[in-house]
Amino acid sequence: MADRFGVDQAAILSRIFDRNAIRRQALLPPLNIRAVFEHEVETARWRAICDAHYAHVRAEVLARLRERHGLDFGNSAGGRWAVEFRTRRALHERFWL
């Protein structure tokens, strides 16, 4: 069953149980299922949000930077880094859960 972000929590829990079984066979300590589950769900939700909004937010960021620095901005390695950094920051500011 998927939540409103499209995250299949049952599949995540199943994978955690599988990992725990492998750890048990390898004589490793068990995972903290609750903590791992919460982390995996949060990570999957964040990925879903980024997948849904990344292109639009990146286009906005690039447009703002090109207004300020000229139409060639974003073509160099440093420019691409700046666009990516600011895009991730804008996604975090707008959509962080």
Query: Range of 89's domain?
Result: 9-95
Residue 4 lies in a domain: no
The backbone torsions φ and ψ at residue 2, rounded to the nearest 5 degrees and listed phi first, read: -95, 145
40 is a domain residue: yes
Number of compact structural domains in the chain:
1
Return the residue matching tokens 């499209």. Answer: 6
| pLDDT tens figures, 57-70 | 999 999 999 999 99
Please check whether residue 2 lies inside any domain of the structure. Answer: no
The per-residue pLDDT for range 24-51, each reduced to its tens digit, is 999 999 999 999 999 999 999 999 999 9
Residue 3 lies in a domain: no
Cα separation, 11 vs 93, in Å, equals: 29
Q: Could you tell me if residue 50 is inside a domain?
A: yes
pTM above 0.85, yes or no: no
Distance CA 53, CA 82 (A): 18
